[in-house]
Structure 1
Amino acid sequence: MPKLLLLGKVEAYIIFNDNKHYNLNHDNIQQFHKQVKLAGLLISTGIVFGDIGTSPLYTLNALFHPGEVVDPVKALGILSCIIWTLTLQTTLKYILITLQADNNGEGGIFSLYTLIRRYFGKWSIVLAVMGGAFLIADGIITPPISVSSAIEGLQKVYPELNTVPIVIAIIVLLFVIQQLGTQQIGKFFGPVMLVWFSFIGIIGLRSAASNLAVFKALNPYYAYELLAHYPAGFWLLGGIFLCTTGAEALYSDMGHVGRNNIRVSWIYIKITLVLSYAGQTAWLIDNGVANEISPFYNIIPEAIYIPSVILASMATVIASQALISGCFTLVNEAIRLGLWPRNKVIFPGSIKGQMYIPFFNWFLMSACILTVLYFRESKNMEAAFGLSVTLTMLITTFLISLYLKIRRVPVVVITLITALFLSVEISFLIANLQKLHEGGWIMLVVGGLLTVVMLTWYNGKMAQSKLIATSQLSPLVLQKLMDLSTNAKIRNHATNLIYLTSTEKPGYVERRILDSIFNAPAKRADVYWFLHVHVTDEPYTMQYEAKVLAPNDVYQVVIRIGFRIEPKVDLFFRKIVTELIQRGELNYEKTEEKKYDRHDFGDYRFMITNSFLSYDNNLPYWKNLLIKSYYNLKLLGVQEDVNFGLDASNVVFERYPLVFEKSDEVRLERIQ
């Protein structure tokens, strides 16, 4: 446990903050993002660019159908669109602009949301939730399409091979090993992906050497010709967009590897990607006719074909692993921000930030398997893949424009930047929407359902909290607590009785807590604690505030932790009590039984009061439906003791009815 540092006066409030352990110092964070190290570049290559790095496996395959006679105008136009999509979307939007928007060093759509929500009200949460939902949908489609596109390379050698069982087996294995942590295999991500990018760049250059004219596509004129004059050229954007999938995950990983490490490594990665696409385009033009096998596999020499398929499979597994880990991080942030039901979060390794969420792991695995069984081949998944990523990027553009506004960037600059990205992304969206009937509707349904779940949870929680009455800890109430604490005629319930509260307002607690204490049988304790856990917008905050309401009898504590901190409230409480004793703000009566207690402060019990919607209610229909849906969603999560890291042996649960407005009095007629 990190050392707790005491700041300020101790008469009423105590605050600690552990910057040293988590490297939270602002200067350290900025230095981390400014530095460029070889290890950081290698890690960036391994975990940041996996998704975008495997897109050459399937992008051109989605644009040229088997048996199609290749028109050089179309081929060069597509290559030019790919190059400029990577330039505008990935380089300009994400590498240069979006990476500037960090929340204490952290990136990702929810980190971006926390930066703007205090300025733009609650409506901004809808954008963040939709972006998060479609990013999770991206996590469902990425493993199937990536692994399928790699394994399908074996069909060049074994034309009758059924790849579905192999793909499902790899996906199952991928999700099973999540619970073990990726600390060990993660060490190989960087070297393997470095080999992968070098490989696709070299074979791409080798193929392009036979037709160097393909590099004319660096001129955006060829992209314009395709979109403006080639028959149905605009609708090819749906497939072209696949080249930039993974850019959103790039932003989410900024906190792990550093801003400048991502930017510098992107230079090499973009060169290899362009060479790979150029080599595939050269083969298409020279061959004249597309075939069943992806152009990527057609440019690989026969002598190294099988090893290349193995390398491609490893790269797709790494890309999938990175996106799965990103989904875990995203869901954990959503839980901490009150946007998702509380799921159990496990930290399987010693790497900071590494986590595993069992419920979500098996949910993703099931969804990925169903995706493979439904689509069967990677070419059938392209429409669904492109649509989910396009929607996520569109939402990020809106959020970035709001962020630039609060940073006081000139309105003209914000307008130009937003207009540029929206024009590109709306064009991609329109092109992808025409493929709704080809499977794109599935990702709309998935993203829509996840959005509804998150908004229902958030609004249901807000509606429920408004029905919870609070009471002031007035001098009269405090006197009653002190009298109860010293009443030897009542059996002692615990030395320390800790109530988890939902309010951090000084001197106030929920009325149900006072009912729990005073209603028969009354709960006598030596010390009453009212404890609130507040999750901050900053990722690594660790602070607490303690207010003495009645010396040695009643204390109110607020623990503030960042949304990336594991909430070990049981451990935090023991540390806080120990420090208060050391500071002389808390003194326990020395009784005979405490001679044998291993703690200086005796035993303690966490009281958790869970509500249920009373039948004796007169709620409006829609509010009743919302709160009932909220309670149903709670079944997907875990209890507060697991969420807050409480020792089960120290927890007592109580249930109480939630009443909005009592129903009209029922009149029963008595008959003789």
Structure 2
Amino acid sequence: MDSTADNPSGRRLAALSLAALGIVFGDIGTSPLYALRECFHGEYGIAVTPANVLGVLSLIFWALLLIVTIKYLLFILRADSHGEGGVLVLTSLVKAGGADRSAVGRTLVALGLFAACLLYGDGMITPAISVLSAVEGLGHIEPAFQPHIISVTLAILTGLFLIQKHGTARVGTLFGPVILVWMIALAGLGLSQILRTPQVIKAFSPWYGLAFLLDNRLHGFVVLGAVFLVATGAEAVYADMGHFGRRPIRLTWFGLVLPCLVLNYFGQGAHLLNHPADAYHPFYAIVPSWALIPMVALATMATIIASQAVITGAFSLTSQAIQLGYLPRLRVRHTSVSHRGQIYVAPVNWLLMACTIGLVFGFQSSSKLAAAYGVAVTATMLITTTLFFVILRQHWRWSLAAAATLTSLFFAVDLSFFAANMTKIFHGAWFPLAVGLTFFTVMITWRRGSEILAVKSRKLTSSVNDFLARIGEERPERIKGQAFFLTRSRDIVPVALLQNLRHNRILHAEVFLLHIRTEEVPRVPNFEKIEVERLGSGICRIVARFGFMEQPDIDIIFSLCKGQGLDVDLDRASFFLGREKLTVGENPAMGRWRSNLFLFLSRNAMDAVGFFRIPSDKVIEVGARLEL
């Protein structure tokens, strides 16, 4: 499980660490803008007393230590698949272990899929709250700017989504340096306040956090929902592991991000000990007046970078879901030849844009948005811990006692934060849950509908062996050329081939049954991608395997086939594709509303020609009528 693929050092390690700083830690690195403020000035803000300040700081420190450092950096990051991470990867590992063969296993896989869907809600809220909290600094520079904060935020967010189709590879080189300057600024601001009020370092003791919860009881527990905001970027750390590797991520966290964040949070706390009235925005309160303008500008750039990382993550998640068969084919455009993670999915981009702008309009302030933030992330973390327990038992062969002891610690922390965030369910926290449930419904409907269609299609076709026997008996007329037929299963003859033979009563001299399948691994090595089997009678079967983070491409398939000695030529080839005309029957297997949803998705899906990049002038479509 623990991949040993790459251990960079020297300049490569430094370059990867700087890049990881910009992409991986952008979200968690901008939390100081609003996290501590919400503990004392948000919907459930608590009184600014020395005991409460030290207690909240203690909870913040131990949340960063237990959730990000111990759970994710030391343990979860080891649960990789060929160096890739993320909740979908974790789910694929559970499936690979055979867990999905039981009812409990299928539930676990469904939970993993739901956790991935919740990240869409996070992708809508993060840009809104991050950019809005940064722009709110304009009100500290000049109160006259206050009425224009929303319009400035909307302009920035609109521009951010509009540039997505052009890619961010060029400006991406600035992400690391900008976040580096941001981290240094965080540390400098915090350290200056700590030196003035050094007693704040007592908050490193966990007893202050425990005393805070005991003294404030229910109110203190509710404040945990705001404390959790310091760890909202932890899932991104795991999801982006494949781009940089564990070593650069860990080095960046321990060597820079964690110390800078802790210094800033403690610096804000030190200022509140002396100036309780500044709880309405403690971050900007510790910025000297002469530095307010450059700090607002720097904060805005940092939040844009954090938002970009989340948006790119939503694109990547969509691409993975398409390859795994949970979403219909959508056009996935690669915007960079050198950055494999730089992709663009137009429908997702416009949906994120509409919802993000709607959130800014609806909530009007980052403080109110914070009430909607956290539930989706804590739910995802709970599910991650559940799946990780299965990984410990199935893949790492830990004893039940050892696995239960470790994950019980994680469960206790995750469940506490989840329960605290659930108190905000009627203050906006329902939104990311609704988004996640909507995407989950779409995904399981598409997957189930595709399975039903596959069963219906089999009734119209035959097995490869039966077809070969029929060809041997009937000996149809053969014509020159190469005919490629895409098939859903390697052992089934596609309907398009049978229909062509039935109506035209001819076969090409060379017939290729092409089955393109997505494996439950992120990437398949080139030497394992293609399996060629000559079946006789001029018929050849090609099985092309791709990982769920790869884009199948007909040019790649042809190139790899030639490497195996197969004489295929795109100029001589014709592609016969089946096109189903779908209707909803009297008693649809999925129910009428889900069947109609599948029908809508199918009609708006990208066809195989564009998805697999097949030259359109080489395609012949053969229709068939199927009833859901």
Structure 1 and Structure 2 fold alike (TM over 0.5):
yes
TM-superposed deviation, 1:639: 1.0
Aligned to 1:590: none
Aligned to 1:60: 36
Aligned to 1:327: 314
Q: Does 1:77 align with 2:55?
A: yes
Deviation per residue, 1:271-324 (Å, 9 max, x gap): 1101100011111110122354x1000000111110011000010011111111
Alignment of 1:129-168 (within 5 A): 129-159=113-143, 160-168=146-154
Letter in 1 for 2:107: W
Verify the 8 A CA contact 2:33 2:134 in the aligned structure 1.
yes
Q: How far apart in 1 are the matches of 2:211 and 2:408? A: 22
**Which of 561, 565, 572 is the equivalent residue of 2:557?**
572
Letter in 1 for 2:155: A
* 1:614–1:442 CA distance, 2 compared to 1 (3 A): closer
Q: How far apart in 2 are the matches of 1:394 and 1:517? A: 52
Q: How far apart in 1 are the matches of 2:3 and 2:210? A: 45
Letter in 2 for 1:254: M
Deviation per residue, 1:571-619 (Å, 9 max, x gap): 523652585456xxx8xxxxxxxxxxxx5x752221221223346x554
Aligned to 1:646: 614
Q: How far apart in 2 are the matches of 1:430 and 1:581? A: 59
TM-superposed deviation, 1:390: 0.9
Q: How far apart in 1 are the matches of 2:114 and 2:305? A: 26
Q: How far apart in 1 are the matches of 2:39 and 2:325? A: 42
Q: How far apart in 2 are the matches of 1:48 and 1:253? A: 6
TM-superposed deviation, 1:34: 12
**Which of 306, 310, 316 is the equivalent residue of 2:297?**
310
Greater C-alpha Rg: 1
Verify the 8 A CA contact 2:500 2:622 in the aligned structure 1.
no
TM-superposed deviation, 1:196: 0.5
Q: How far apart in 2 are the matches of 1:171 and 1:255? A: 27
* 1:421–1:203 CA distance, 2 compared to 1 (3 A): same
Q: Does 1:559 align with 2:544?
A: yes
Q: Does 1:109 align with 2:87?
A: yes
Aligned to 1:235: 222
Letter in 1 for 2:250: R
TM-superposed deviation, 1:163: 1.1
Verify the 8 A CA contact 1:496 1:602 in the aligned structure 2.
no
* 1:453–1:215 CA distance, 2 compared to 1 (3 A): same
Q: Does 1:455 align with 2:444?
A: yes
Verify the 8 A CA contact 1:36 1:260 in the aligned structure 2.
no
Q: Does 1:298 align with 2:285?
A: yes
**Which of 572, 575, 579 is the equivalent residue of 1:606?**
575
Aligned to 1:515: 498
Deviation per residue, 1:446-488 (Å, 9 max, x gap): 11111111111112222222222141233432326852315xx
Q: Does 1:432 align with 2:432?
A: no
Q: How far apart in 1 are the matches of 2:398 and 2:604? A: 42
* 1:365–1:659 CA distance, 2 compared to 1 (3 A): closer
Letter in 2 for 1:528: V
* 1:304–1:618 CA distance, 2 compared to 1 (3 A): closer
Alignment of 1:314-393 (within 5 A): 314-350=301-337, 351-393=339-381
Alignment of 1:404-423 (within 5 A): 404-406=392-394, 407-423=396-412
Count the aligned residue pairs: 606
Which ranges in structure 1 are unaligned for 5 or more consecutive residues?
Answer: 1-25, 487-491, 587-598, 661-672
Larger mean CA deviation between 280-289 and 619-628 belongs to 619-628
TM-superposed deviation, 1:254: 0.6
* 1:561–1:314 CA distance, 2 compared to 1 (3 A): same
Letter in 1 for 2:253: W
Verify the 8 A CA contact 2:57 2:266 in the aligned structure 1.
yes
Q: How far apart in 2 are the matches of 1:388 and 1:355? A: 24
Verify the 8 A CA contact 1:228 1:234 in the aligned structure 2.
no
Deviation per residue, 1:104-130 (Å, 9 max, x gap): 010111111111113211333211211
Q: Secondary structure at the match of 2:523?
A: coil
Normalised by the length of structure 1, the TM-score is: 0.86
Deviation per residue, 1:344-371 (Å, 9 max, x gap): 1111112223211112111111111111
Q: How far apart in 2 are the matches of 1:27 and 1:439? A: 40
Q: How far apart in 2 are the matches of 1:378 and 1:523? A: 67
Verify the 8 A CA contact 2:272 2:279 in the aligned structure 1.
no
Q: Does 1:185 align with 2:168?
A: no
Q: How far apart in 2 are the matches of 1:414 and 1:434? A: 30
Aligned to 1:530: 513
* 1:284–1:639 CA distance, 2 compared to 1 (3 A): same
* 1:282–1:200 CA distance, 2 compared to 1 (3 A): same
**Which of 38, 44, 50 is the equivalent residue of 2:14?**
38
Which ranges in structure 2 are unaligned for 5 or more consecutive residues?
Answer: 101-105
Larger mean CA deviation between 348-357 and 565-574 belongs to 565-574
* 1:564–1:41 CA distance, 2 compared to 1 (3 A): same
Verify the 8 A CA contact 1:613 1:628 in the aligned structure 2.
no
* 1:306–1:614 CA distance, 2 compared to 1 (3 A): closer
Q: How far apart in 2 are the matches of 1:211 and 1:432? A: 31
Verify the 8 A CA contact 1:34 1:260 in the aligned structure 2.
no
Aligned to 2:601: 633
Deviation per residue, 1:66-109 (Å, 9 max, x gap): 89852111111110000000000000110000000110010111
Q: How far apart in 1 are the matches of 2:292 and 2:76? A: 38
Aligned to 2:204: 218
TM-superposed deviation, 1:258: 1.1
TM-superposed deviation, 1:550: 2.2
Identity, in percent, stands at: 34
Deviation per residue, 1:133-186 (Å, 9 max, x gap): 111111110000000000001111232332111111111111121122221111
Q: How far apart in 1 are the matches of 2:139 and 2:268? A: 18
Aligned to 2:477: 484
Q: Secondary structure at the match of 1:64?
A: helix
Larger mean CA deviation between 207-216 and 227-236 belongs to 227-236
Q: How far apart in 2 are the matches of 1:620 and 1:320? A: 42
Q: Does 1:399 align with 2:390?
A: no
Letter in 1 for 2:462: S
